[in-house]
Structure 1
Amino acid sequence: MKKTRIFILTIIAIIICTLLYTTSKMGETSPEEKIIVATSIMPQKEFIEAVGGDKVKVIVMVPPGANPHTYEPQPSQLRELSKARIYFQIGSGIEFEKTWMERLKEQNPNIKIINCSKGIKLMKEDPHIWTSPRNAIIIVENIYKALIEEDPNHKEYYTENKDKYVTRLKKLDEQFNQTLTGKQNKKILVYHPAWTYLCRDYKLEQITIEREGKEPSPQTLAKIIQEAKKDNIRIIIVSPQSNKQSAQAIADEIGAKIVTIDPLAENYIENMEKMLQTLKSI
């Protein structure tokens, strides 16, 4: 009888300890509990992590330094994608998504596709919607809506994170407004036409060296040089993925400085602040 009582008390003690341990662990997020999501480009990674924080793990299909016009996913990336619950699609017509989106869905038929361009007025000639802070705010809101739908238990957490990040984006928008309002020279010379939305929202004019993905002809180059001299352009903006030969030829001819700004950089706000500082000096 005594042994039976000891056995029962031991079992009760084990159950109580197990319950206490389980309770102490409630609310902790282990790596296994993170929502695995995927997206196409690095700027989206910052947006998703700004909202999702430690509740999400982000797979980026086009890695740093790769060209979304030509990149092909590696087998290891496709294996990772098969575990993702959400794909945050840019939805603006970038070449990677036009080429690969259907194949990515075949790789993971259950993945939920979120079009992050919803609510943005698209321009066919430029898929780089994120290069305007005003569009970035809309993209972040679309990400937020998808995360609270997928994981409603953490709505308060996502809301707090989203509000903090959107506040930073609104401050960035105001800085662009203050810097560019009343500026007489509204023209910027760029190699790749990646800044169309920025120019639209802040009333700038983008002169591009590359036209329809092709290097300029000698005649086009001469025309650009003539226009740049006339407008006293002293800065040429290029991306790391660009062939800088044509830009350098123009810079040598007009005495301009070449500034490298990557529209695909992950550190979005820091990168856009660099763009803002560049525009101050045009």
Structure 2
Amino acid sequence: MCALDQKHASKFNENTENYIKQIASVDSSFKQIVKQAKRKDIVVGDRFPLLYFAKEYGLTYSAAFPGCSEQTEPSASTISYLIDKVKKDQNPVIFKIELSNGQIARTISEETGAKVLTIQSMHNVSEEDFNNGETYVSIMRKNAKAVKEALQ
């Protein structure tokens, strides 16, 4: 962009540096949260399109569906496994993915008392979030807050 609009190159460079600092700050937050965490495992009562995220921060996970599965209903044994896992490990949080109806997570929550929180996979942004000016950074900061609560 600097080559196309040299008049505004310094502003583009300033914005780039600012954004890189924001991303680095979010990354640092996640690293610190995981470093201080009581547990390193998250439970997702939904699809799990966050494999790279989990690997990057040294987290393990259990989920109703692997990746971005096309399945719409998990097996009874999967639900039972997740309920038993949350109870055994005393996980305080069960995640659902953005724009999900959250039914699977609610079912697990009802059986375990774990709180349902949303974790954004960054694949979708609701119209409301878009209209409210949400950004990658603001959404990832919300994710950090949710992950911190889940890892307590």
2:142 matched to which residue of 1? 274
2:86/2:114 contact within 8 Å kept:
no
CA distance, structure 1, for counterparts of residue 30 and residue 80 of structure 2: 31
CA distance, structure 2, for counterparts of residue 240 and residue 276 of structure 1: 15
1:229 equivalenced with 2:87 (yes/no):
yes
2:131 matched to which residue of 1? none
1:155 equivalenced with 2:9 (yes/no):
yes
1:236/1:259 contact within 8 Å kept:
yes
For normalisation by structure 1, the TM-score amounts to: 0.44
2:51 matched to which residue of 1? 196
Query: Once the two structures are superposed, what CA deviation does each residue of 1:86-107 show, in whole Å capped at 9, x if it has no partner?
Result: xxxxxxxxxxxxxxxxxxxxxx
| Equivalent in 116, 137, 140 of residue 258 of structure 1 | 116
CA distance, structure 1, for counterparts of residue 77 and residue 34 of structure 2: 32
- 2:135 alignment partner AA: N
> CA 1:229–1:276 in structure 2 vs 1: closer, same or farther (change >3 Å)?
same
Which runs of 5 or more structure 2 residues have no equivalent in the other structure? Answer: 126-133
2:87/2:112 contact within 8 Å kept:
yes
- 1:183 alignment partner AA: A
- 2:115 alignment partner AA: K
Measured on the aligned residues, the alpha-carbon RMSD in Å equals 1.9
Q: What is the SS of the residue equivalent to 2:62?
A: strand
Which runs of 5 or more structure 1 residues have no equivalent in the other structure? Answer: 1-146
1:174 matched to which residue of 2? 28
2:103 matched to which residue of 1? 245
- 2:41 alignment partner AA: K
Q: What is the SS of the residue equivalent to 2:116?
A: strand
2:64/2:79 contact within 8 Å kept:
yes
Shift of 1:197: 2.1
Q: What is the SS of the residue equivalent to 1:236?
A: strand
> CA 1:184–1:261 in structure 2 vs 1: closer, same or farther (change >3 Å)?
closer
Query: Once the two structures are superposed, what CA deviation does each residue of 1:70-121 show, in whole Å capped at 9, x if it has no partner?
Result: xxxxxxxxxxxxxxxxxxxxxxxxxxxxxxxxxxxxxxxxxxxxxxxxxxxx
For normalisation by structure 2, the TM-score amounts to: 0.78
CA distance, structure 2, for counterparts of residue 269 and residue 198 of structure 1: 15
CA distance, structure 2, for counterparts of residue 272 and residue 256 of structure 1: 22
Shift of 1:194: 2.6
2:119/2:146 contact within 8 Å kept:
no
| Equivalent in 214, 217, 224 of residue 75 of structure 2 | 217
1:165 equivalenced with 2:33 (yes/no):
no
1:238/1:260 contact within 8 Å kept:
yes
Write the mapping of 1:33-48 to structure 2, written as runs, cut at 5 A.
Answer: none
Number of residue pairs matched by the alignment = 135
Structure of higher CA gyration radius: 1
Q: Structure 1 vs Structure 2: percent identity of aligned residues?
A: 28
